[in-house]
Amino acid sequence: MLSQMAMVSNKFLAALSVRLGFHRHMRSNGAVIEHQNREYVIEIQEAEKEAKGAPDYWTNTKQPPKVQIPATLHEAIADPDLGSI
């Protein structure tokens, strides 16, 4: 028997991050990604206002910007001896 697994999209997680204010804690060292993040936050916030309470407001927005995880953080996450972060 196959076990059922819930699938969550990056688009949903990005919209949820904006809703919870996590975007305020993001740091980057590039003007381009900062600009893309600001544009995305504005789009998500406007979509939520226009949706008037509809929970699927994020489905008609563009894809969130792609962000690369630094190699050291990626290695720490993948290392089972370090435990969870």
Q: Please indicate, yes or no, whether the overall pTM of this predicted structure exceeds 0.85.
A: no
- Is residue 2 included in any domain, yes or no? no
Per the structure, how many domains does the chain have? Answer: 1
61 domain-assigned: yes
In whole angstroms, what is the distance from residue 63 CA to residue 14 CA? 9
Instruction: Compute CA 47 distance to the chain's CA centroid, rounded to the nearest angstrom.
Output: 16
For the chain, what percentages of helix, strand and coil (3-state, to nearest 5) are there? 60, 0, 40
Return the closest-CA partner of residue 13 out of 84, 51, 75, 67: 67
Q: Which residues form the domain of 20? A: 10-82
In a domain, 4, yes or no: no
pLDDT digits (tens, 9 = 90+) for 34-76: 899 999 999 999 999 999 989 999 999 999 988 766 666 556 5
